[in-house]
Structure 1
């Protein structure tokens, strides 16, 4: 593991063991460390590198930060509850731990009442939103998850950020694998910009604009931190104008704020500082039992057939028609069959630096 070449490969189980020991070294108990690592590897093994092991460096900045961030000893608390809903105060615990607890609560409510929806306030970055919707799908339920983030996205035609990347995810059981949609309401997730920067690539499209509303192509010109006073920022889904549909992504982002910041009575993205170091982010999780609407097996079989019909729609030359979740399943099967993951040099260097400082050598 001394080499940090771009094509370095690392055994999945060895990496998982190292990551678990790392989070135990921070002070998390075994169960919580396993949950954090499970979230990271869900992303990594499904080909979502932006939310995989490259996040270890960011979490290191948040854990134990004197200005706030993640409190290793904090425990999330249910502060309001009905048979179908709850509000959770994360008390600045690790986002994955609070979020898994909230989704489990939503799932339990759906099993007894048909639906469960849980909002969360004062939390932290929770990883890939689809990790939590997948929890619901594995329980035979429809799953929804969303989060707000620090302000880094521009309202349409604005020159300063006010919104977060605010992803929305949804999963539903299907055959041969669940339908799995997970997307930022910004034109891409911020993690994809980080990946371009690490790999030394220009941004392939107009993902960001500067303070004059002109596209940024060099990821090195991307502001170092989110903030209301930063010139320029990321664009919403749809891009720079109403003609390309920028108002749609802008609206989707506000929907995420409603569920995550307003209903939770927590912070909106405009009230979160940077990566959430001083003010916690909000989430929302929901689980729905398809049995509310009829025989769940019949519903899922019909949905599976519907997705298969989409896959058979004629494709443009050189392309294939996928439905959401196909690419992630293909990546998962390929990566787990090979038993290794590939990490870029900057991520390897970051993991090695964090591990050395925490006394968990990355070797």
Structure 2
């Protein structure tokens, strides 16, 4: 493979070398090897799926957290309470990916025993894309719903300051083909999308975010910087500002995520996360064993028949087909698995800086084998 830091150009890289780079970076700053491999899998799954805002562009936050001790590289999630099909997991302030994977697998197992199971996670960190976990459950034959809270960035309807996180909600269930996977933030856009638009030199739309004065702002650098610095800038919930287009409904779904991941879980809700000792994020998993409802194969076939019928609906625009959740991500994953993952120059530069900071080899150019 021809080595280059690629700082002035886009880089197309295969999954294998990108995985090796991420794992080496995390292990170099104190992560357990197995946890590093799982975290790399989740990050790169996002890049493969075209969700670049939650892929290796997020690596720096993990590297810095492990280096400065706000993320525990030796953490071991453990069950601290269990009653029937309900379990509570303490993530030990470790990487969020291994903690939530532990909780998800536990929920699938317990749902097999009880028909339904819920697992709450406290003292956790950023988990990457929520759809990775629900798809994992669906491939195991179960229905799953996952949500997490996050740093406060969203102004609830009527508020003039951010209180909620972007709090994604994901669900997935089996079909006779690829699982049906929904994964979306409860804000009108996540901050990561603004960061991606800025990297690509594309504009944001009015009505996505507001400044400290409550007025719409479309200045991406100012909005992103203001969100990070907690200077009163805020994203808006699904539906946008006020109630005219249903912003109060998106705000209510965001509140649900905050309740499930905060007070009900024993973690901090978004306005109180990310203190000097770590994140204390909360996550919540609900899992349903399809066999508890009847014949699991029949249910999967019924879901497939339903989704086929939806796809066959008369389109509003003849040039834009009806699309179901997850289809674009599955298509991107197939294409990028075959041809490589494109990384934009700002991401390549940041990965180069990470490599220099921790003393590992920089990510090289693609060698032609994805």
Specify the TM-score bucket, using the shorter chain as the normaliser.
over 0.9
In the alignment, is the contact (CA less than 8 A) between 1:151 and 1:228 conserved in 2? no
**Aligned alpha-carbon RMSD (Å):** 1.8
Aligned to 1:285: 285
Structure 2 vs 1, CA of residues 77 and 225 (structure 1 numbering), >3 Å: closer, same or farther?
farther
Aligned to 1:124: 125
Secondary structure of residue in 2 paired with 1:88: strand
Aligned to 1:310: 310
2:55 matches 1:52: yes
Q: What is the rounded CA distance, in whole Å, between the counterparts of 1:188 and 1:2 in structure 2?
A: 31
Unaligned runs of 5+ in 2: 365-370
Task: For residue 62 of structure 1, report the CA deviation from its aligned partner.
Answer: 2.0
Q: What is the rounded CA distance, in whole Å, between the counterparts of 1:320 and 1:223 in structure 2?
A: 33
Aligned to 1:322: 323
2:301 matches 1:298: no
Aligned length: 359
Q: What is the rounded CA distance, in whole Å, between the counterparts of 1:6 and 1:296 in structure 2?
A: 49
Q: TM-score, normalised by structure 2?
A: 0.92
Task: For residue 227 of structure 1, report the CA deviation from its aligned partner.
Answer: 7.8
Aligned pairs for 1:1-363 within 5 A: 1-66=4-69, 69-224=70-225, 226=227, 230-273=231-274, 278-315=278-315, 316-338=317-339, 340-362=340-362, 363=364
Unaligned runs of 5+ in 1: none
Superposed structure 1 runs of 4+ greater than 6 Å apart: none
In the alignment, is the contact (CA less than 8 A) between 2:134 and 2:146 conserved in 1? yes
Q: What is the rounded CA distance, in whole Å, between the counterparts of 1:289 and 1:239 in structure 2?
A: 36
Task: For residue 327 of structure 1, report the CA deviation from its aligned partner.
Answer: 0.7
Task: For residue 6 of structure 1, report the CA deviation from its aligned partner.
Answer: 4.8
Task: For residue 199 of structure 1, report the CA deviation from its aligned partner.
Answer: 2.2
- Of residues 53-62 and 170-179 in structure 1, the stretch that sits farther from structure 2 once superposed is 53-62
In the alignment, is the contact (CA less than 8 A) between 1:171 and 1:180 conserved in 2? yes
Q: What is the rounded CA distance, in whole Å, between the counterparts of 2:202 and 2:265 in structure 1?
A: 39
Q: TM-score, normalised by structure 1?
A: 0.94
In the alignment, is the contact (CA less than 8 A) between 2:7 and 2:345 conserved in 1? yes
* Greater relative contact order structure (CA < 8 Å, 6+ sep): 2
Task: For residue 230 of structure 1, report the CA deviation from its aligned partner.
Answer: 2.8
Q: What is the rounded CA distance, in whole Å, between the counterparts of 1:165 and 1:277 in structure 2?
A: 22
Secondary structure of residue in 2 paired with 1:93: coil
Task: For residue 137 of structure 1, report the CA deviation from its aligned partner.
Answer: 0.6
In the alignment, is the contact (CA less than 8 A) between 2:32 and 2:74 conserved in 1? no
In the alignment, is the contact (CA less than 8 A) between 2:71 and 2:278 conserved in 1? no
Secondary structure of residue in 2 paired with 1:222: helix
In the alignment, is the contact (CA less than 8 A) between 1:160 and 1:230 conserved in 2? no
In the alignment, is the contact (CA less than 8 A) between 1:150 and 1:227 conserved in 2? no
In the alignment, is the contact (CA less than 8 A) between 2:155 and 2:234 conserved in 1? yes
In the alignment, is the contact (CA less than 8 A) between 1:133 and 1:143 conserved in 2? yes
Q: What is the rounded CA distance, in whole Å, between the counterparts of 2:10 and 2:82 in structure 1?
A: 49
Q: Deviations over 1:227-251 (max 9, x none)?
A: 8963230000000121111001100
Q: What is the rounded CA distance, in whole Å, between the counterparts of 2:9 and 2:229 in structure 1?
A: 35
In the alignment, is the contact (CA less than 8 A) between 1:119 and 1:283 conserved in 2? yes
Q: What is the rounded CA distance, in whole Å, between the counterparts of 1:234 and 1:90 in structure 2?
A: 28
Q: What is the rounded CA distance, in whole Å, between the counterparts of 1:203 and 1:282 in structure 2?
A: 30
